[in-house]
A = this chain, B = another copy of it.
Amino acid sequence: MNNLKKILQTNNLKATHQRLSILNTLEQQGHIDIDNLYNTIIKQNPTISKATLYRNINELIEKDIIVEVKIPHQKNRYEIKKDPHIHLVCKFCGDVLDNTVDLSMIINNIQHNTQFQIQSSFVIFEGICPSCKG
C-alpha cells in the first residue's frame, strides 16, 4: 500500500485526494508555505479550497505528521516530520536547505551551566547559499 496512505490511516485519517496531495507536495518540495502549497495543489485539483488546506495542515500538525517551521522574516512553512535537522536559509533566494549537525556538546554545556533541561532544538542559520554566491 502507498506509504502516505498508510501514514494517514495509521492516524485514523481518511486517505482523501486532498490529504494525499498535501503530503505528496510536502514530500517533494519540503519547507513550503500555505500559499505555495495551495498554488501547487490547485494545478492538480482545481477545486480544492483553502479551508480544506488549513483544516488539514492543522490536523496533520496535531497528529505529529508534519511540522511548522518558523523562519525569521518569512511566512511559516511546513515540512513532513523527519529526523532532527537544522535549516540553512538563503537571504537572497529564500531557499531552505536541511543539514544535520551534532549539537550534543553545546547542549551538554548549556545544561551543565544553567540547569535548564533541553528536550528539543530549533536551529536556523541565515546566509548565502552556494547557488547565490557571486
**A88 & B110 in contact (Cβ 8 Å cutoff):** yes
**A118 & B126 in contact (Cβ 8 Å cutoff):** yes
Chain A positions within 8 Å of B, measured between CB atoms, are: 68, 70-72, 88, 90-91, 97, 99, 101, 103, 106-107, 109-110, 113-130, 133
**A133 & B120 in contact (Cβ 8 Å cutoff):** no
Q: Which residues of B contact A70 (CB under 8 A)?
A: 70-72
**B119 & A127 in contact (Cβ 8 Å cutoff):** yes
**A128 & B121 in contact (Cβ 8 Å cutoff):** no
Q: How far is the CA of A42 from the CA of B113 in the complex (A)?
A: 37
Query: Do A133 and B107 form a contact, CB below 8 Å, given A121-B125, A122-B72?
Result: no
Query: Do A115 and B130 form a contact, CB below 8 Å, given A101-B110, A103-B106, A106-B106?
Result: yes
A75 to chain B, nearest CB (A): 11
Q: Which residues of B contact A115 (CB under 8 A)?
A: 130, 133
* Partner among B99, B109, B119, B123 whose Cβ is within 8 Å of the Cβ of A128: B119
| Given A99-B113, A106-B106, A107-B125; 20 other pairs, CB 8 A cutoff | A68-B72, A70-B71, A88-B110, A88-B116, A88-B118, A90-B116, A91-B119, A97-B114, A99-B110, A101-B109, A110-B125, A116-B128, A117-B127, A117-B128, A118-B125, A118-B127, A120-B125, A121-B125, A122-B124, A123-B124
